Amino acid sequence: MRKSSTSPDPDYSNEHPPNQEQPPKRQQEAWVAMNSNKPSMALSRVALACALIAFVQNTVGFSCPYWVITEVEIPGLGTNKINIGLFKGCSTFGGCEGGSDGVKTWRLAAAGLQILAFIFTVLTLVGLGLFLVLSSRAWAKWLRILSTVSTALAGCLIVSVVALFAINIDNVLEELPGHEFDLSWAFAVCANASAFCIFAAILLVFDIVF
For the segment 49-106, what is each residue's pLDDT rounded down to a tens digit?
999 999 999 999 989 999 999 888 878 778 888 888 888 888 888 778 776 666 788 8
- 40-63+103-172+184-209 domain in CATH 3.40.50.720? no
Q: If we measure between CA atoms, which residue out of 120, 115, 108 comes closest to residue 165?
A: 108
Task: Name the most confidently modeled range: 10-14, 30-34, 107-111, 136-140.
Answer: 107-111
Residue type, 45: R
CB 140, CB 39: distance < 8 Å: yes
CB 62, CB 85: distance < 8 Å: yes
- List residues bridging with 97 in a β-sheet: 89
Burial class (CB in 10 A: 0-12, 13-18, 19+), 4: exposed
DSSP one-letter code for 22 = -
Q: Which residue has the higher pLDDT, 130 or 6?
A: 130
Task: Return d(Cα 19, Cα 130) in angstroms, integer.
Answer: 47
Task: Return d(Cα 116, Cα 198) in angstroms, integer.
Answer: 16
Alpha carbon 159 to chain centroid, angstroms: 13
